[in-house]
Copies of this chain bind each other. A is one copy, B any other.
Amino acid sequence: MAATQVVLTNVDRGIWQESLRLDASSGIKLAGSPDWSLQKTTLRGGLSDSVEVVTVDNGALSMSVFPTRGMGLWRGQYRGIPIEWKSPVARPVHPKFVNQLERGGLGWLNGFNELMCRCGLSFNGPPGNDNGAELTLHGRIANLPAHYVAIEANDAGVGTLGVTGTVDETTMFGPALRLSSTVSTEAGSNSITISDRVTNLGAQPTELELLYHTNIGRPFLAADSRLVAAIAEVAPRDPHSATGATKIARYPGPITGVREEAFFFELLGDKSQQTSVMLVNAAGDLGISLTYSLRELPCFTLWKNPQADADGYVTGLEPGTNFPNFRGFERAQGRVISLAPGATYSAAFTMTIHDSAAAVKDAEARIKSLQTREPIQHPQPIAKYSQV
């Protein structure tokens, strides 16, 4: 039983692998699957030029990670089922082509097409001036590259595969935060876990906002797909979203020109504050769930954007330390973390694919068992969640 690690990038030591593949041909045997692989490629050309992609394939589920884009998740597949969405931004975009100040601070949208990108670390939410700090949409982390990247195969048990990356979001006279992220999965399994540690490298307390913008399209999302969640309280983000408040958990098919809706949730968890949310298709035989701790990620945002396919038919399941409002508002609501010098904030979630009616039913039952009291459903935005 042994772990084999390969460092792909270590700027401090001059290590860089342009491309590399590790699989069973190396002699490493994983009990869970013979078909596993860990593969690094570096894209060339177009807006994708120099984007690094590390793909973890456990033999059943594969997931591509972007070290160049803050260790976000590009897209995956499970036994041939795509785990992705189709953005109008069709290909990976290198941060050098993303000017976050464009479009009045919304330039982040020029590179937005991941299955999961982090919003943070110092701030997320809309752009604006927060006590002298010029914030841009959803912060810097998704457009910062990792200076350290490693892959690992461990043959203990069924076998585990992982990719780890370290990304610094620092500046002079400003916050200095480090993200260390590991994406791991068991050989042959139907799930993948993202485990993050964010450390304040500075000598003074600093603010942290962290939201996992997890974006799901077809085939999980389609007409009559449903959200399954254990809800303590929920409210629409804004008056427009309020028009959809009676059918929060149900999705329409694509509607050309529809405006996005967003809803803010407090969820219910088990005794240890674990919860799950799941998106299920209409037939009830395909679902994707996120499982995580409400202690780490107390705020859940649902983003409904059922635009025409060509415009990005997608929904966002977004666990976070905060809601993606302007940081000043979140601070006033006590939802911005103050991280002490040297301190670390940990957060993790597991994404699981449920590809049969039985598997979906089982996951749904577990979520529903958490619904131990009536949800409070606000038809209009509330002051606790939204700047109304």
A144 at the interface (CB under 8 A from B): yes
How far is B311's CA from A287's CA once the two chains are assembled, in angstroms?
46
- Which of A133, A310, A341: most chain B Cβ within 10 A? A310
Checking B16, B106, B311 against A204 with a beta-carbon cut-off of 8 angstroms, the contacting residue is B311
- Name the segment of A40-48, A151-159, A220-228 touching the other chain: A40-48
Complex contacts, A145 vs chain B, CB 8 Å: 45-47, 49, 97
**B88 adjacent to A172 (CB under 8 Å):** yes
- Name the segment of A5-13, A261-269, A324-332, A364-372 touching the other chain: A5-13
**B310 adjacent to A176 (CB under 8 Å):** yes
A24 at the interface (CB under 8 A from B): no
Interface residues as binary, A100-140 with B (CB distance below 8 Å gives 1, 0 otherwise): 11111010011011000000000000000000111010000
Question: Within residues 72 to 116 of chain A, which ones have a CB less than 8 A from any CB in chain B?
Answer: 87-91, 95-97, 99-104, 106, 109-110, 112-113
A338 at the interface (CB under 8 A from B): no
How far is B254's CA from A168's CA once the two chains are assembled, in angstroms?
23
How far is B309's CA from A145's CA once the two chains are assembled, in angstroms?
24
Checking B50, B100, B172, B256 against A87 with a beta-carbon cut-off of 8 angstroms, the contacting residue is B172
User: With contacts A46-B146, A109-B173 known, is A256 near B204, CB below 8 A?
Assistant: yes
Question: Within residues 353 to 382 of chain A, which ones have a CB less than 8 A from any CB in chain B?
Answer: none
How far is B202's CA from A95's CA once the two chains are assembled, in angstroms?
24
Distance in angstroms from A55 CB to nearest chain B CB is: 12
A231 at the interface (CB under 8 A from B): no
**B103 adjacent to A174 (CB under 8 Å):** yes
Complex contacts, A15 vs chain B, CB 8 Å: 45
Count how many chain A residues have C-beta atoms less than 8 Å from C-beta atoms of the other chain.
66
Complex contacts, A132 vs chain B, CB 8 Å: 104
**B102 adjacent to A311 (CB under 8 Å):** no
How far is B15's CA from A43's CA once the two chains are assembled, in angstroms?
9
Complex contacts, A257 vs chain B, CB 8 Å: 203-204
A312 at the interface (CB under 8 A from B): yes
Distance in angstroms from A351 CB to nearest chain B CB is: 22
User: With contacts A96-B96, A99-B100, A102-B100 known, is A91 near B12, CB below 8 A?
Assistant: yes
A301 at the interface (CB under 8 A from B): no
The chain B residue with its CB closest to the CB of A110 is B171
A250 at the interface (CB under 8 A from B): no
Listed by A's residue number, 27 A-B pairs whose Cβ atoms lie within 8 Å are A9-B44, A11-B43, A11-B46, A11-B48, A16-B45, A45-B145, A49-B145, A87-B172, A88-B170, A88-B172, A88-B176, A88-B201, A89-B170, A89-B172, A90-B168, A96-B97, A99-B100, A99-B101, A103-B133, A103-B134, A103-B174, A109-B174, A172-B312, A176-B310, A202-B308, A203-B307, A204-B311
* A residues lining the B interface (CB < 8 Å): 9-12, 14-16, 41, 43-50, 87-91, 95-97, 99-104, 106, 109-110, 112-113, 132-134, 136, 144-149, 168, 170-174, 176, 201-204, 254, 256-257, 307-312, 341
